[in-house]
Amino acid sequence: MRHFLCLLASTSLFACSAENDIGAGGGDASLREAALKFDGADATGEAARIAHGERLASVLGCKGCHRPNLQGGNMGEFEAELDGIYASNLTTELPKMDDRALRRLLVKGIHPMRGEMWLMPSGVISRVSDPDLDALIAYLRTLEEAGKPTPPTRLTDITREMVETGELSRSSAQVRQFAEAQMPDLGSEHRWGRYLTSTTCAECHGPSLEGTGDFAPDLAIAAAYSDDELRKLLTEGVGKDGRDLGLMSFVGVEHFSHLTERERDAIIAYVKARAARAGEPPRTATAPQ
C-alpha cells in the first residue's frame, strides 16, 4: 500500500471538511526565487509557454493519477483499498475557479469550494517558482471540457484508518511540513539542481531528502550510483545492476524521462554532492525505491 501512496501524491483527494486559510506562501522561499526554474520557463511565445507547462504536468505528476487526459477517475482502479477516492476531472473542475483560486489550491492545498484536500502534492508544488507555476496554469487553462465530473471523495473505514495512522495526510499539512524542512544549500554551483530536486525527488524522499521510513531511502544512497547509472534510472527506470525498483522505476519512465538532459544532470550533481557532504560511503545494498 505505502509504495502506491507516492504515486497518489499526484492526485487531488477532495474531502468535505473545510479549513481556514493557512497564510501566504509555502515551501522554502529560497527555492521559489524567479531565477530558479525548469528549462523552457523563459519562453516568450504563448505556444512555447503552454508546451513548457504541459511538460511540467508530466514531470510533476499531474498526468499520473489524473490520467493522461486529466479527466481523473476512481483510485480504486489502481488499489482496491482506495475505492471511493477520486482524482478529479480537471477539465470540468478548473473552469469553476479563477487563477487566484487555482494557485491557492496548488500551493496551499485548499480547494476553493470543497475545502480540505488529501494527498494533493502541495508541499512540493509550494516550492515551484512563479514562472514555472504560471506556465503550468497556462497549460491547464487550455484543457477543453470533456467527460463527466468525478464524484466527490468519500472516505471509507479503511481510508479513515489510513488517515489516523498517517498514511493519508491533509495537503495543507504537507505545505507546513515542506516549509519547515530545508534542503541543504550546497552553494551557487548546485543552486539550480537544489531547486529541481526539491520539486521532484522530495515528493517521495521527503522535504529534506532524508527518506521516509521504509518507503523511500535517504538520497545519500545516490553515492552508490555512478552518474551514468543515475541517468539510466531517471530516463529508463532501470536501477543499479539492472534492478527493477518498482515505483521508482515507474516514476523514472513516466515522470523523470520528461526532464531535459541539463535538468537531469543538475539533479544528479546535487544529490551526489549532498551524499558526499554527508560523508556517506558508497552503498551496494538497496537502491532507491
CA distance 178 to 43: 29
Cα 123 to Cα 253: distance, rounded to the nearest angstrom: 23
CA distance 89 to 100: 19
Write out pLDDT tens, residues 116-164: 777 688 889 999 999 999 999 999 999 999 999 999 888 899 988 988 8
Compute the distance between CA of residue 145 and CA of residue 148 in angstroms, rounded to an integer: 9
Nearest to 248 by CA among 274, 215, 223: 215
Structural domains of the chain sorted by starting position, each given as residue range(s) with its CATH number in brackets: 2-177 (no CATH), 182-277 (1.10.760.10)
What percentage of the chain exceeds 70 in pLDDT?
84
From CA 197, how far away is CA 178, in angstroms rounded?
13
The whole-number pLDDT of residue 7 equals 44
pTM of the entire structure?
A: 0.84
